[in-house]
Amino acid sequence: MGKQIKIFDTTLRDGEQSPGCSMNLQEKVQMAKQLENLKVDVIEAGFAIASKEDFISVKEIAKQIKDCTVASLARALPKDIDAAWDAVKYAKKPRIHTFIATSDIHMKHKLRMKPKKVIENAVKMVKYAKGYCEDIEFSAEDATRSNLEFLTKIYEEVIEAGATVINIPDTVGYTTPDEFFNFISYIKKNVSNIHKAEISVHCHNDLGMAVANTIAAAKAGATQIECTINGIGERAGNAALEEIVMALNTRKDFFNYNCDIDTTEIMRSSKLLSAITGVQVQPNKAIVGVNAFAHESGIHQHGVLQESSTYEIMKPETIGLSQNKMVLGKHSGRHAFEDRLKELGYNLSKDELSNAFKQFKDLTDKKKVVYNRDIEALITNKVMEIPEIYKLDRFVINSGNTITAIASVKLINNNKEIEDASNGDGPVDAAFKAIDKIVGLEYDLEDYSLNSVTEGKDAQGEAIVKIIKDGKMYTGRGLSTDIVESSIKAYLSAINKMLHEIVLEDEKRIS
């Protein structure tokens, strides 16, 4: 039996800080439930003090998650720790994760504190957090650029104060594998009471070595690994959960480590995150990229057809890729559709299933073959849907390469039909401008992208739209075999998210 490694997932905290990856409450809860299906050990649900929205999401996740530890990040400040506890106290297994910077550059320029004061503050806040719950994690921010003797001292003292986990972050992705191995080894050897706490590591990917550094740390004695789905996070991101887990899983002969992750949920987790954030992984991304198990070279194809292990070191099934070739089309019934949903990992309520089946049947009128990716896109789009304050009724486009595009759009708001028209630089721009006239609010279009969900000329177009209002970004998705329609749906989805949040804020102020 090899060494047990715990997986600490920070997709909902550090990952969400990645530009363009913000999530609303419903999306965070959905992602947290998937992380629970994945069987991560710890879910860092957010930074409770950061905003009211963060506090509410951490609290809701703490209430709903039963099989994982739920943690909230907190600076080494009483108000942060109070907020963290108020949010995670509903969890079956709560954790407060507090941190303070320890590198000379951070202590001098950010904290403006002397090393002795930093230690005193860290110890005081760990004791303060310990008054709330037993499980306390302490992180030394920018540890890999900190003085090792100073780190040894602060870790000893916070463990003595009650820290159950000490985290050694490579906050700016500065270290290298050999260096980090020696770094962790030094901490393990020289912190006298290290046996009383777990060693955790949190690596960033600024130099492209986050996964390698993380595994080197595990070899040196770290037993908790902090990472994110698809490697999302600040700047160049965090160590990617799927890469670490599959490296340990595939090379058990070399590492001899165990973790409790259900690897068959990896692809589902990756796709769900991409669907929520609108940020797709690169095609050649390890493990979860669309080309990770694809073979174009004739030599490779021949080898794989004879024996898959010639060019595949992992079986696609181990990460949840389905090899099922059953075709779903217009003649498929509800039972076959429900079976396929279960195979793909979806457990919908009766009403959700009825709604999804209707959408499926509508799609089969437009496509001869409905692929798994069509269904995943359809279900994700419906599950994540918020109330439609504005609903598309119809649109008419007049466009060509020798005329100015004109769009007429009719929306429904509170059972009232509203129609307006506008011209623009192409059909999508004209349609968006017509919608802007109807909505009558100011916001900026930050990003617009269009992708084919599957192959074929009848493929669904998946549009992703991001708008910004008052510094906050809202992401909308739209699906249709008509790319203009999918673009309009995505634009309305983002606008509805924005308006829904405005309504909720108004209700809070009134109450």
Residue 375: partners with Cβ closer than 8 Å, 6 or more residues away: 328, 340, 341, 344, 360
Sheet with 391-400, edge to edge strand ranges: 391-400, 403-413, 416-424
Phi-psi category of 230—alpha, beta or left, where left has phi over 0 and alpha has psi -120 to 50?
left
For 89, phi then psi, to 5°, come to -65, -15
Separation in Å, CA 63 to CA 44, 79, 215, 322, 325: 14, 22, 32, 32, 39
Confidence at residue 344, expressed as pLDDT on a 0 to 100 scale: 66
Mean pLDDT of 131-136: 98
Confidence at residue 296, expressed as pLDDT on a 0 to 100 scale: 40
Most confident of 4-18, 371-385, 473-487: 4-18
Check pLDDT > 50 for residue 107.
Answer: yes
Check pLDDT > 60 for residue 191.
Answer: yes
Confidence band (pLDDT; 50, 70, 90) for 137?
very high
Confidence band (pLDDT; 50, 70, 90) for 298?
very low
Which is it for the CA torsion 49, 55, 61, 66, positive or negative?
A: positive
Check pLDDT > 60 for residue 57.
Answer: yes
| Chain center to CA of 483 | 26
> Lowest-pLDDT range, 26-40, 82-96, 334-348?
334-348
Mean pLDDT of 84-100: 98
Residue pair 469/505 in contact (Cβ under 8 Å)? The answer is: no
Mean pLDDT of 15-21: 81
Sheet with 461-469, edge to edge strand ranges: 444-452, 461-469, 472-480
Distance CA 26, CA 469 (A): 20
Share of the chain above pLDDT 90, in %: 67
Q: What is the DSSP annotation of 122-167?
A: HHHHHHHHHTT-S-EEEEEETGGGS-HHHHHHHHHHHHHHT-SEEE
Distance CA 411, CA 431 (A): 12
Check pLDDT > 50 for residue 496.
Answer: yes
Confidence at residue 299, expressed as pLDDT on a 0 to 100 scale: 47
Residue 25: count of CB within 10 angstroms of its CB: 17
Confidence at residue 432, expressed as pLDDT on a 0 to 100 scale: 97
What are 307-360's pLDDT values in tens digits?
Answer: 666 667 788 888 887 553 344 666 667 776 777 777 666 767 788 888 888 888
Mean pLDDT of 285-307: 62
What are 226-242's pLDDT values in tens digits?
Answer: 999 999 999 999 999 99
Q: Which has more pLDDT, 175 or 303?
A: 175
Residue pair 343/376 in contact (Cβ under 8 Å)? The answer is: no
Confidence band (pLDDT; 50, 70, 90) for 158?
very high
Buried b (16+ CB within 10 A) or exposed e, 174-184: bbbbeebbebb
Mean pLDDT of 193-204: 98
Confidence at residue 37, expressed as pLDDT on a 0 to 100 scale: 96
Separation in Å, CA 434 to CA 416, 427, 484, 485, 489: 17, 11, 13, 14, 13
Confidence at residue 301, expressed as pLDDT on a 0 to 100 scale: 42
| Chain center to CA of 262 | 17
Residue pair 405/427 in contact (Cβ under 8 Å)? The answer is: yes
Q: Where are the beta strands (DSSP E) in 10-61?
A: 42-46
Check pLDDT > 60 for residue 383.
Answer: no
Mean pLDDT of 384-402: 88
Mean pLDDT of 456-468: 82
Q: Where are the beta strands (DSSP E) in 338-443?
A: 391-400, 403-413, 416-424
**171: closest CA among 114, 85, 105?**
105
> Lowest-pLDDT range, 203-207, 270-274, 301-305?
301-305
Helices 25-38/266-277 angle, 10° precision = 170
Mean pLDDT estimate for the chain:
89
> Lowest-pLDDT range, 184-188, 333-337, 393-397, 496-500?
333-337
Check pLDDT > 60 for residue 181.
Answer: yes
Radius of gyration of the chain from its Cα atoms, rounded to whole angstroms: 25
Check pLDDT > 50 for residue 494.
Answer: yes
Confidence at residue 311, expressed as pLDDT on a 0 to 100 scale: 60
Mean pLDDT of 270-283: 90
Confidence at residue 324, expressed as pLDDT on a 0 to 100 scale: 36
> Lowest-pLDDT range, 113-122, 223-232, 250-259, 361-370?
361-370
Confidence band (pLDDT; 50, 70, 90) for 455?
low
